[in-house]
Structure 1
Amino acid sequence: MSYKPKTLFRLIEDINSSLYLPHIQRPFVWEEEQMVKLFDSLMRNYPIQTLLFWRTKDEIKAREFMEVVDWDADLSDHYASNVSKEGYEKVFVLDGQQRLQTLFAIFSGAIKPEGKDRAEAYFDITSGDVVSDSGLQYSLSFSTSPLSSPWYRVADLLGKDAQKNAEELSDRANDSLDVLDASMAAEDKPSDEQQKARQKLVRRNLAQLVSLLREEKHFWVQELDGVANKYPYRTVLDIFVRVNSGGTKLDASDLMFAAMKEGWDEIEEAIEETTELLNSTNLEFDKSFPLKCLLVVHGRGAEASPEKFSGEDGAKLLQEMKAGWERAEQAFQELRDFLKSDLKVYADKVIRSYNSFIPLFDYLYSNPKPNERSKALMRAYHYKAQMFGWYSQSTDSVINGLHSIVGTPCPGGFPMEEVKKFFRSRGSETELRSAHLHTSRLRYILLNLVYVDQMGGSPFDVKFKGNEPHIDHIYPRHALLTKLGLPSNEVNTIGNFRFVGATDNIRKRAELPADYFVRLKAAGTPIEKHLLVDSYSAVPSAMAFDPVTYRAFRDSRAEKIWEICNKTVNPENLLTPEEVAA
């Protein structure tokens, strides 16, 4: 392995002519703020770590650097097919993509901010004497139009000023700034001392800028020479995974994709499509979820790591995953349909753990097309898992423990009793009790369950933010506390809670329930879905504002809520002996 300095000029010259990005590299993710910070570090002579390259003639898909950084670019547009071929010598960047792409954009290219045209880098050659509130000492700005002195277009160092040295650039810049100083009003003109200080600062800044580009002391490269020596792809991949594992540009799933590429090129696309499928509601699965699902059903455990895809065992796993993908894809589709059509969960507020869905996939993989009884038990499992915190700790060990229960053919349907036994052995609750209805952290989950049961859909299935459901007191909280003098534990209770859209909640204010629900009923609003108790929804004017009526309403509605929740969360307790035997 060689270790040598390189000029930035040479690095930029090599980019897209001999220096490329391998397909295992993730997209460019640095924001403009990070790009400016890198420039500031270099102007301060801060070290920016070594760059790691790999020289090879292997057939590896090569991607070009972006001449104009576009954060929404399609990576497939930048692949260089001729360079990728076997026998073509090329150098790949294993570590340093973000830094090199940033420097390429600053010194030679541009960026494309959202909604704007090409923006080039300009350096304020008079900056550097003070540190800004953001911690930056040197000012760099990307502009879609030319900036005048004291701003210097950095790309000119490789363009019209390529043959000029730092002294020539400084003299020209200072002459221009001296002219500006002379044109100022007398009271604004800098003193001779200030002018000399500025001239010195300009000379220092341009000397450093030229040095960054042309001198071999700022950038150091380690190169794995796979042409002269033996550096097989597997070894290089292991190095890549290790050097990137502490960075910000790759997450666990990205590193696993890097390890998988050789065995199954299409896996990343398949996983991304699966993730989009699962997120076709308002949920937010990430790519590690389907990967963990696949690891579990193929008996490798829920612990996700790139090492599982390396070596002979990794190659075997990938072949198993590829061969079983059709079956897995069907299970993912069934899981998505179960989430959307049966659970109707559309928001993170009603999900305490996404990992709880992995055993459902595990079950569907071995038990496709579950009947209605199994679906009812799967729904119950979901609610129990969320309410009782089954996945609040040791998540992977829980998933692995359940694999032997749900990850095999279950002719008797979803094995709820075995699942409950497993969690009881871990000291967890397994059955909903009426007392749980008064647990504040469960309010959103419980109310969502009730609304799904009553309305056939989730109140969170909205696009307009003003329609997002808020928890609302049916009998106004403030009035109950102040006018009726009730304690808060009688006011903030499930029997008095409902969901209402944010906009409607603001509009409602503190209107008394008799007036409010009479008005809604007259307007054709299905108030029975909110009130639940037939006697009150039929005659909402009966909802008088007094302690006796309030308590009667609250308690009868809480009883109805318990009835709905109990049948959904504890269906196994309501089955007939014949159904249990079946």
Structure 2
Amino acid sequence: MASKAWLISVRKILEEWAACKIPTIQRGFVWNEERIKEFLDSIIKGYPVGSIILWTPKDEFPHAPLIDNLNKEPNNTYILDGQQRVTSLFLVYNGWKILRNGELIEVRPVYYDPKGNKLFVSSSKSAEKRGIDVSLILKAYSGDVEAYQELMVKYPNYAKTLGELARKILDYEIPYYELKDNISYDEVADIFVKVNSAGVKIENMHMFLSLFVGTLPQELSDVKNEIIAIHKKFGARESFGLTFETILRFVFHNLGVKQTQLSDNRKFKSAIKAVWDKYGANPSEIRDVVSCSERAIQLALNYLEQELGVVKTSFIPSQNALLPLFKYFYVNDYETPEKLPREERKHLAKLFILSSYVGRYSGNTKIDQDLGIITKGRFPIEQLIKRLEEDNHFTIKDFERDKNKFAEAIKVQGRKYIMLLIIALYKSHARDWTIQEKRVVENVKANDYEVHHIFPREYLSRFDIIDSDLVNDLGNLTIIDPYINKEIGDNEPLNYLSAYSEFLEEHFIPVEQELWRVENFENFLKKRREAIYDFILEEILV
């Protein structure tokens, strides 16, 4: 195994490395144009940019091409570490877009401002008035005659400056290591883990996915893409917003990997071995598990929307609380959420609300425990609630007492209150205060909503009420149409609430006008908080 570092210029990388491969243990390209700009800036200034590790095994491993290149035969050299930097260089050289496995990778152009001697990012057509496309500069000084002629015609006064800039980039040397001998895949995986752990470049679960897929036979190498496709389906902003981590937690638990193993790279090897001990005789079942996991996620999200009106992750404290719901639909063969017995629907809702509210699944051990319980049979709500009460020291009575506590609900730590609000509004069939009378959940699903302060912040500040625990308390917040929110502005409740009287009760807003006065602000908050908590208790928790 080679341990000596060699040096290679950017020019040589562009000439010789286009036919390299990306092993599946690497993640996809994630840098944006700002990162590329910083990378180029470091090169121009002569700063170190890190080393690259290449691997040339005798056998072929699951991979993607660095760049789709019809003019060159692919070699058997893999970029084990450094593909973000190498991909960035090829993006610069190829006009900011390349194809990889037929999929377009594209970023906004980086320009060089010769007057200010700095780089900037822009997609505006007017960018060329104050800067020069770095891609054009690089191609012009790499032997592209047409690019050179275009550069000289457009920017004749900067020929010397641009030539010096191009040379700084093209002649810059990057250190690289080349692993050639017949080292095993396990050794390569070990190197990959150590390299990425040192710089915290890849989250543990992403790293586990990459290492796991690298052990799959070639006919199953697209499993990684299938898992990524699940994230694309449920992770988009216009969709539910699931994180990749949540999906990986669920899929790998279904394959027999514990959450504690996913979070510790020292346990990766034994976890992957356990999967192969289970599925080695019939590896195609792995694809079945992934497919069933996707179906379970879809059913669980449909259930959340239909039962609680939860359609976005931005309204829940932690996505880990979704895992028991996913597992429930994975082990129970329901075609649709509507097929669930009524009592079971309520049990699921109760567990989801309480575990989210108290933050039960912040640790891996409790996730493993509860998913294990659900796997064993029908939904054991009593056992799960008992565990929550014992482990988290939280009961329904504690939940009831919380209705008398003011707390910031806008920030991340206050999401449990926003969750209660969206569920209560959904269950009360709350509308958005417009003449169209759309349900609030429709606005949220379409990302066309505003969190409205019933006593506007500007209005409260006139009376020196600035404590965020009061101003942003659950009792002062509701969800309405953005246009209506803007129209209300900083009006006092006494002046505007009457105009929306038909919507007040379904938004749990006290109808006693005396409570709409600023001197009764805290009493207003208490009454509305109580109404929301009592509604959740009566409808779902008891």
Cross-structure match for 2:400: 434
Would the alpha carbon gap of residues 396 and 558 (structure 1) be closer, same or farther in structure 2, given more than 3 Å must change?
A: closer
**Distance across 1 between alignment mates of 2:423 and 2:291:** 33
Distance 1:325 1:450, change over 3 A: same
Question: Is the aligned partner of 1:156 residue 2:124?
Answer: no
2:436 is aligned to none
Deviations along 1:512-534, one digit per CA (max 9) or x if unpaired, are 559743x445xxx544423578x
Structure 2 residue aligned with 1:510, among 491, 496, 499? 491
Does residue 567 of structure 1 match 2:538? yes
**Conserved 8 A contact 1:342-1:379:** yes
Match of 1:467 in 2: 449
- Contact 1:56-1:90 within 8 A present in 2 as well: yes
Q: 1:255-294 to 2 correspondence within 5 Å?
A: 255-261=207-213, 262-263=215-216, 264-279=220-235, 282-294=239-251
Alpha carbons of structure 1 residues 80 and 372: separation in structure 2 relative to 1, 3 Å: farther
Q: Which moved more, 1:343-352 or 1:463-472?
A: 463-472
Question: Secondary structure of the residue that 1:21 maps to in structure 2?
Answer: strand
Q: Which residue identity lines up with residue 230 of structure 1 in the other structure?
A: N
Q: Aligned ranges for residues 100-115 of structure 1 at < 5 Å?
A: 100-106=86-92, 108-111=93-96
Amino acid aligned to 1:271: I
Matching residue of 2:506: 529
- Give the secondary-structure state (helix, strand or coil) at the position aligned to 1:58: coil
Q: What amino acid is the match of 1:99? A: R
CA distance in 2 between counterparts of 1:479 and 1:46 reads 49
Q: 1:375 is matched with which residue?
A: 345
SS in 2 for 1:284: coil
Larger radius of gyration: 1
> How far off is 1:570 after superposition?
2.2
Q: 2:77 aligned to 86, 91, 112, which one?
A: 91
For residues 516 and 250 of structure 2, what CA distance do their matches in structure 1 show? 54
Q: 1:223/1:436 Cα in 2 relative to 1: closer, same or farther (>3 Å)?
A: same
Matches of 2:314 and 2:66 in 1, distance apart? 41
Compute the displacement of 1:408 (Å). 1.1
Q: Which amino acid aligns with 2:226?
A: A
User: Over residues 145-188 of structure 1, what are the superposed CA-to-partner deviations in whole Å (9 max), with x where a residue is unaligned?
Assistant: 69999x99333332169xxxxxxxxxx9xxx86xx9xxxxxxxx
Q: Select which of 409, 415, 425 maps to 1:451.
A: 425
Counterpart amino acid of residue 429 in structure 2: M
CA deviations over 1:500-523 (Å, ceiling 9, x no partner): 334323423535559743x445xx
Equivalent of residue 185 in structure 2, options 233, 236, 239? 233
Flag the structure with higher helix content: 2
- Contact 1:22/1:61 (8 A) holds in 2: yes
TM-score relative to the length of structure 1: 0.67
- Percent identity between matched residues is 20
Does structure 1 retain, via aligned residues, the 8 Å contact 2:8–2:174? yes
Secondary structure of the corresponding residue to residue 230 of structure 1: coil
Distance 2:533 2:38 in 1: 57
| Cα deviation, residue 284, structure 1 | 2.0
Residue 352 of structure 1: CA displacement? 0.9
Relative distance call for 1:297 and 1:50 in structure 2 (3 A) is: closer
Q: By how many angstroms is 1:400 displaced?
A: 1.7
User: Match for residue 166 of structure 1?
Assistant: none
Letter in 1 for 2:241: E
The answer for the alignment partner of 2:324 in structure 1 is 359
Question: In structure 1, the residue corresponding to 2:176 is in which secondary structure?
Answer: strand
Which amino acid is the alignment partner of residue 245 of structure 2? S
Structure 1 Cα separation of the partners of residues 9 and 495 of structure 2: 79
Aligned: 1:403 with 2:371: yes
Task: Report Cα offsets for 1:288-315 as digits up to 9, x if no partner.
Answer: 2122113334443113256536753343
Q: Is the 8 A contact 1:52 1:93 kept in 2?
A: yes
**Deviation by residue 1:111-164 (Cα, 9 ceiling, x = unmatched):** 2599x999687685xx9xxxx8xxxx7668899869999x99333332169xxx
Kindly report the root-mean-square deviation, in angstroms, between the aligned alpha carbons of the 2 structures.
Answer: 4.9
Give the Cα–Cα distance (whole angstroms) in 2 for the partners of residues 561 and 239 of structure 1: 54
- Which whole-Å deviations, capped at 9, do the CAs of 1:75-115 have from their partners, x for residues lacking one? xxx3879957xxxx521211122222333445x4332599x
1:388 matched to 2:358? The reply is yes
**Aligned match of 1:417:** 382
Offset of residue 430 of structure 1: 2.4
Measure, in 2, the Cα distance between the counterparts of 1:48 and 1:512.
57
Specify the code of the residue in structure 2 equivalent to 1:14. E
Matches within 5 A, 1:127-276: 153-159=137-143, 210=167, 213=170, 218-225=173-180, 229-247=181-199, 250-261=202-213, 262-263=215-216, 264-276=220-232
Instruction: Report the residue type matching 2:371 in the other structure.
Output: H
Contact (CA 8 Å) 1:105, 1:111: kept in 2 or not? yes
Q: Structure 1 residues 314 and 15 mapped into 2: Cα distance closer, same or farther (>3 Å)?
A: same
Please state how far the C-alpha of 1:51 moved relative to its aligned partner: 1.9
Query: Hey, what's the Cα distance between the residues in 2 that align with 1:45 and 1:496?
Result: 55
1:533-564 deviations in whole A, cap 9, x for unaligned? Answer: 8xx5xxxxx74679999999988766654442
Q: 1:502 to 1:122 in 2, by over 3 A?
A: closer
Q: 1:223 deviation in Å?
A: 1.1
8 A contact 2:299–2:329 mirrored in 1: yes
CA distance in 2, matches of 1:254, 1:334: 25
Question: Aligned residue for 2:276?
Answer: 315
Instruction: State how many pairs are aligned.
Output: 485
Does the C-alpha gap of structure 1 residues 491 and 15 become closer, same or farther in structure 2, counting only changes over 3 Å? closer
User: Are the equivalent residues in 1 in contact too, given 2:141–2:163 (CA < 8 A)?
Assistant: no
Query: In structure 1, what is the Cα distance between the partners aligned to 2:242 and 2:173?
Result: 42
SS of the counterpart of 1:47? coil
- TM-score, normalising length from structure 2? 0.72
Give yes or no for contact 1:512–1:545 (8 Å, CA) kept in 2. Answer: no
**Structure 1 pair 142–112 and aligned structure 2 pair: CA distance change class (3 A):** farther
In structure 2, the CA distance between the partners of 1:333 and 1:43, relative to structure 1 (3 Å rule), is closer
Q: CA deviation at 1:479?
A: 12
1:231 to 1:40, Cα distance in 2 relative to 1, 3 A: same
Q: Against the structure 1 CA distance between its residues 258 and 514, is the aligned structure 2 distance closer, same or farther, given a 3 Å change threshold?
A: closer
Matched, 1:296 2:253: yes
The CA deviation at 1:351 is 0.9
Larger CA deviation: 549-558 vs 508-517: 549-558
Aligned to 1:6: 8
Aligned to 1:332: 297
Q: Is contact 2:459-2:492 (8 Å) kept?
A: no
In structure 1, distance between residues paired with 2:468 and 2:275: 58
Q: Which residue pairs with 2:435 in the alignment?
A: none
